[in-house]
A and B are shown apart, each in its own frame.
Chain A
Amino acid sequence: AQSVTQPDIHITVSEGASLELRCNYSYGATPYLFWYVQSPGQGLQLLLKYFSGDTLVQGIKGFEAEFKRSQSSFNLRKPSVHWSDAAEYFCAVGGSNYKLTFGKGTLLTVNP
C-alpha cells in the first residue's frame, strides 16, 4: 500500500527565513512524487513533481525538492520565504494505479 507522512502539522517561519517541509513516502515501485499547495478555500496548485532523472527538482515560486530514495523522502525547500507563501502544503505519491495518496499536510505560517 502507498502512504505519505508529513511529520510537521504546523510550521511557523519568519519572512525571509529558509524553509524545509518534510515528506516521507512508502511505495512498492518507482514512485511519482508531487508537492501541492492549497490556500484557504481554494483547490490544489502543483508546485513541482518528480518522475525520474535529476533528484533535485525545481518548481514554481522558487521552491525545490530533493528525492532521496535511500531515505524514502521528498523534502520541499525554499531559501527565502515570502508572506504570500503562507498556505497548506501537501506531499503526494502516485504510481500506475491512477490515484494519488496525500499526506495530512503541513500548515505554514509566515511571521512578518
Chain B
Amino acid sequence: KAGVTQTPRYLIKTRGQQVTLSCSPISGHRSVSWYQQTPGQGLQFLFEYFSETQRNKGNFPGRFSGRQFSNSRSEMNVSTLELGDSALYLCASSPLSQGQETQYFGPGTRLLVL
C-alpha cells in the first residue's frame, strides 16, 4: 500500500497570506490527524477527522482549520499567516473508527513564512 502523501512538500509564503495543505491517507484509512512540529514547541496536535467530522481539536487559534472529504482526503488551511506558523506540518492516518489506533505519518509539508 502506498503511504500517507502530503502536498506540497515545501512552501514559502509571506505574512498575512493564507495557505492550504493537502493530505491523502493510506488506502482504507478513514481517520486523518494533523500535527505541527516546531523546534520550540515540538509536536503539537492540531485536529482529527473521521468521516468528514472533526472529532478533536488542539489548542490552536481559529486561523487553523481543516476539513475532510468523502474519499478521506484532508486539507488544512491557515489564514493570515504569522512568522510563528513556520513549521513542519505532519499528517497521519489511522484505520479504525474508535479509540486509539496506530497513526501512520506522511513526510510532512515544510512551511516557511517570511
Are A and B a genuine interacting pair, yes or no?
yes
Complex contact B45–A99 (CB within 8 A): yes
Contact A43 B106, CB 8 Å, known A94-B100, A99-B58, A105-B42: yes
A46 contacts partner chain B, Cβ-Cβ < 8 Å: yes
CA distance A44 to B56 in the complex (A): 21
- B104 contacts which chain A residues (CB < 8 A)? 46
Which of B4, B55, B102, B105 is the one whose CB lies under 8 Å from A98?
Answer: B55
B61 contacts partner chain A, Cβ-Cβ < 8 Å: no
Binary interface profile of A, 37-64, with partner B (CB < 8 Å = 1, else 0)?
A: 0000111111001010000000000000
For the complex, count residues of A whose C-beta is within 8 A of B: 25
Residues of B within 8 A of A (CB): 4, 31, 33, 35, 42-43, 45, 48, 50, 55-56, 58, 90, 92, 98-100, 102-108, 110
Main secondary structure of the interface of B (DSSP, over half): strand
B33: min CB distance to chain A, Å: 7
Complex contact B102–A45 (CB within 8 A): no
Residues of A within 8 A of B (CB): 32, 34, 36, 41-46, 49, 51, 90, 92, 94-105
Complex contact A44–B102 (CB within 8 A): no
Complex contact A99–B42 (CB within 8 A): no
CA distance A90 to B105 in the complex (A): 13
CA distance A100 to B90 in the complex (A): 12
